[in-house]
Structure 1
């Protein structure tokens, strides 16, 4: 099992950093190798990645999500992939983001990449691109303030969950679209 741990400080408030991170469909804008992420539901995402010529498609379930604190996920199909991202306020305009990712390299090329630290370097570069992305914008592209415990959304009423995981006009389950 390959493990990647990386940390970066970003010069935006914790709420801005966290809210942007919940916009999974925006990941291809700053994550090299992530071709597409589709938000299927509040707790399900579909990923298409192409890392060093190795393409993978997998579904990942959000296992834990607490606004401004943590997002954790794991794959739910044949790909072994899980991770946890935490957000720590360093002050009113600064946040520390810490990532912990575990995955099982499948191909020979993936095993070599993991052994020589290519995965760690990739995550580090992606975090730097996230930093550039959010610091240049100074605001998030959207937000989802809901909570997830044990893979299930927690209903604490609209005041606690407010927001949506999808940009306006996006089709969601049941064939409807967001306002």
Structure 2
């Protein structure tokens, strides 16, 4: 399994970033490769993903707030395709600024089989670049709408 961690600072309060993170209908605007996203009930979501032969990818989401801190976490696990697990944390910097941190674990071979693309180091670099780009688009969306 490969691990990835990326983060970005936002010029919005933690609560604003957290609220936007839960707006599934906005995922196609900032998550690369997602054509559509909708709730499937019971903490589950269905994501229409490009590069999987037009298939959907299911994901289970759960939330928690860490004890003795204002850090909020959303965890997810995909099913019905490449297995990807991850955590998206929203941490307060101060009253008007927050940090979004993404941690993921994935099997590069499964990702390549599901989505195509390069092998080895080039694939890991492409995934890291995609996550960084997703975070930049999330920042732009949230700050523009705030």
Fold agreement, TM-score > 0.5 = yes
Q: Return the alpha-carbon distance in structure 2 between the equivalents of residues 42 and 124 of structure 1.
A: 29
- Structure 1: gaps spanning 5 or more residues: 139-179
Task: Select 2:129's aligned residue among 116, 121, 126.
Answer: 121
TM-score, L = length of structure 1: 0.68
Aligned-pair Cα RMSD in Å? 1.9
Q: When the two structures are aligned, how many residues end up with a matched partner?
A: 134
CA shift, 1:42, in A, is 4.0
2:60 counterpart of 1:61? yes
Give the distance between the partners of 1:101 and 1:36, measured in 2 at CA.
Answer: 21
2:30 is aligned to: 30
Alignment of 1:92-107 (within 5 A): 92-104=95-107, 105-107=111-113
Runs of 4+, deviation exceeding 3 Å? 53-56, 110-113
In structure 2, runs of 5+ residues without a counterpart are 66-70
Normalised by the size of structure 2, how large is the TM-score? 0.82
Q: Which has the higher helix share?
A: 2
The within-5 A match list for 1:18-167 is 18-50=18-50, 53-55=51-53, 56-62=55-61, 64-66=62-64, 69-104=72-107, 105-107=111-113, 109=117, 111-112=119-120, 113-115=122-124, 117-138=125-146
